[in-house]
Amino acid sequence: MKSVLILLIIAGMTFAIPNKPADKSVEIEKKVKKLLAEMTLEEKIGQMTQVTMQTISKTQGTKLQSHELDEVKLEEAILKYHVGSLLNVYDVAHTAEYWHEIITKIQDVAAKKSRLKIPVLYGIDAIHGATYTVGATLFPQAINMGASFNKELAKRSGEITSIETRASGIPWNFYPVMDLGRQPLWPRLWETFGEDVHLASMIGSEYIKGAQGDNISSDSKVLTCLKHYVGYSFPFNGKDRTPAYMSERTLREYFLPPFEAGVKAGALSVMVNSAEVDGIPTHSDYRLLTEILRGELKFKGVVVSDWEDIKRLHTRDRVADTPKEAVRMAVMAGVDMSMVPYDFSFYELLLELAKEKAVPMKRIDEAVSRILMVKFELGLFENAYPKKELLSKIATEEHTKVNLEAARETITLVKNDNNILPLSKKSKVLVTGPTANMLSVMNGGWTITWQGDEESLYPKDKKTVLKAIEEKIGKENVTYFEGTSFNADINTKDAVAAAENVDAIILCLGEKAYCETPGNINDFNLDHAQISLAAQLIKTGKPVITIMFEGRPRVINSIAEKSKAVVIAFLPGMEGGIATADILFGDANPSGKLPVTYPKAQNDIVHYDYKPLEFFDANAYAPQWSFGHGLSYTTFEYSDLKLSKNVIGKNEELTVTVKVKNTGKREGKEAVLLYLTDLYGSVSRPNKQLQGFEKINLNSGETKEVTFTLKPEQLSFIGRDNKRITEQGDFIISVENLKAEFKLK
């Protein structure tokens, strides 16, 4: 029996944004206090109220109808209800110029007509770029950023997204998603950075550092929002907004740490889990929202509800017997701002509750202070207006270049029999399948519209896979038949017949774009029509190269076994077509690695960091492709794995070095992954856990040494009493095929 050491983790929590001078925080605190003292109860409660653009619009702005602001309703919202925040768009992206017009009108009412001239905080889901700004740079989605294993790239995508969002006049981005992608059926899996705690924590933190920098009042930065705190991503049945069942240990071991990392990285807003954990709807969970988030994680920013979720404590969850009780519960649990979002009921009910003292003034002052604090941090009191000179910063050539590089780095080659890829540019190919000639399938939800599936609204100058291949090898060398839609035959026969005259078949399969609940599925297998198209093409004997554009790893076992090559592209964004063609024909060398386990069968859901029981008797980790798997057109050899010590004390760091050589003929990038295995523990220990990763570039023949530093807390886990502990004993470090052991004293 090993002795148990309680590890005191010095969290190193910083107030507000790291590196920000302390006197600025003090100065802001003073301003907040002064302003708060001048506010009426009504003005305070208005600050806690957030409504959607629809509430202040005459027409909704759909693809057939242009949007029109309702200035009477706008004045009512700001002057009568004192609303502090607005969000979104229904349901189509606007030009940046139009955003400027809208935001200017909104701030005009606040600045010129309201008593205290408190600027309005506008928020939006700029998930993979400025989603709702026409023509913005739209990056690979989060699941792809996980596949890049590239921290620099995550940071750069954060920087560019902030530049373009702020240039559109919007200072608040409801991103990043720090939910862990451990339920692959979940239709929001692609919004996560994957199944691993360390990967999600690091990629998310780097994104925040890029997006916020150390001064969010800058013209190129925005306020980020960690979502959806916490446990949202693990619905038992895989459907969106359904219950999660998790023990406190599971919550603390897997789902909480990425949020903790996000808080440490400086995020100043958090959005609440829209569903429930262990029977408690999170919007009513004082323990999660106050005791843990504030008490343990030391979060200082604003907690905003998710869409309509305070009302739903009454209408859906039935934990509150009236709408008013729902408001009381949520505010007292720790929600500072309500995304109401269609009316002013929250304002009216909270006003009643405050007058009746059912919600104490202290709690209202606390929430409003936090909201004012972020408005000061964002510099909105100095200037809340959009800046014309920033318009030229949207979709610059440089941003598009970074986006293309990102797409290339996030596409994962998982199978390449006899190095069939890259194909020669002299090949004749058949391009087929439902995702071959669409942009929406490469972008997914939160692209131009919420669902992202309005193909006709996509930019005409961006290239689908088909267009990019035609451009690369000449139209005369490409035959195209769609074959099937997502779920029905169109012209499979023609596609099969055309295979006769080509050297290779490029088969593009996958899912249509979707977001949230509309993306729920009952069957994890890819639709039958697509499987049948693949089977018929495979039968022709011509080599089939399968490319998957999808938001989650749909089961494709029969196709995977018989395709000569398989590329998991997930959702590579607006430059995904070019990037895919570059990889297929060798103009780019793939370097993505899977950020999730790719299951082989419907019920084969096991994570790479499985427990001993999951690999015992008939149980096994035998997925289609494992987490971290990804091929290159060059080869890498690992050697000289060295540890700074073989025995360490409980507060000591461990340095690990390893050499990686490019032994192939071409330049390539390699994500070097370091895993840790704790051999014995008082709670069953995972097979291995990712504890470090670095992406390096190597020329042919080049060798680099990669150094990792393991911090003491990286050896810890959640013990039987649900507290974080470290135990003495033996550990194994593994990098690729190399292993080294050490002992913790």
- Which residues are at the interface with ligand BGC (CB under 6 A)? 88, 125, 174, 227, 271, 274, 306-307, 516
Minimum CB separation of residue 125 from ligand BGC in Å reads: 5
User: Strand 49-52 and strand 338-339: pairing?
Assistant: parallel
Peptide bond into 91 cis (omega under 30): yes
Minimum CB separation of residue 170 from ligand BGC in Å reads: 13
Minimum CB separation of residue 295 from ligand BGC in Å reads: 25
Minimum CB separation of residue 309 from ligand BGC in Å reads: 9
- Catalytic residue (one of 125, 179, 196, 306): 306
Residue found by looking up tokens 């400086």 in the block: 266
Minimum CB separation of residue 87 from ligand BGC in Å reads: 6
One DSSP character per residue, 356-407 reads TTSS-HHHHHHHHHHHHHHHHHTTTTT--S--GGGGGGTT-HHHHHHHHHHH
User: Strand 729-735 and strand 668-678: pairing?
Assistant: antiparallel
Residue nearer to ligand BGC on the CB measure, 174 or 346: 174
Beta-carbon contacts of residue 734 (< 8 Å; ≥ 6 apart): 674, 675, 677, 688, 740
Quote the strand ranges of 21-112, DSSP E: 49-52, 57-62, 65-69, 85-87
Residue nearer to ligand BGC on the CB measure, 49 or 88: 88
Residue nearer to ligand BGC on the CB measure, 88 or 157: 88
Which neighbouring-strand residues pair with 689? 676
Residue nearer to ligand BGC on the CB measure, 241 or 593: 241
Which neighbouring-strand residues pair with 717? 725
Residue nearer to ligand BGC on the CB measure, 88 or 144: 88
Residue nearer to ligand BGC on the CB measure, 180 or 407: 180
- Do 333 and 285 form a contact (C-beta atoms < 8 A)? yes
Whole-angstrom distance, CA of residue 606 vs CA of residue 614: 8
Minimum CB separation of residue 252 from ligand BGC in Å reads: 23
The tokens describing 50, both together, are 């957030």
Which neighbouring-strand residues pair with 698? 668
Minimum CB separation of residue 589 from ligand BGC in Å reads: 35
Residue found by looking up tokens 């408001």 in the block: 327
Residue nearer to ligand BGC on the CB measure, 503 or 516: 516
In the chain, what's the furthest Cα-to-Cα distance?
A: 80
CA trace torsion 404, 408, 411, 412 (10° rounding)? -170
Q: What is the CB neighbour count within 10 angstroms for residue 475?
A: 12
Amino acid identity, position 623 = P
Minimum CB separation of residue 107 from ligand BGC in Å reads: 21
One DSSP character per residue, 616-657 reads STT-----SB-TT--B-SS-EEEEEEEES-SEE-TT--EEEE
Minimum CB separation of residue 142 from ligand BGC in Å reads: 12
Residue nearer to ligand BGC on the CB measure, 146 or 445: 445
- Do 641 and 733 form a contact (C-beta atoms < 8 A)? yes
Alpha helices in 486-567 (DSSP H): 492-499, 528-539, 557-562
Residue nearer to ligand BGC on the CB measure, 282 or 479: 282
The tokens describing 635, both together, are 């080869």
306 part of the active site: yes
3-state secondary structure of 442: helix
Amino acid identity, position 727 = E
Alpha helices in 242-308 (DSSP H): 248-250, 257-264, 286
Distances (CA, A) of 270 to 39, 366, 498: 25, 16, 53
Which neighbouring-strand residues pair with 486? none
Residue nearer to ligand BGC on the CB measure, 125 or 511: 125
- Do 236 and 290 form a contact (C-beta atoms < 8 A)? no
Minimum CB separation of residue 341 from ligand BGC in Å reads: 8
- DSSP annotation of 173 reads E
Question: Catalytic residue numbers?
Answer: 306
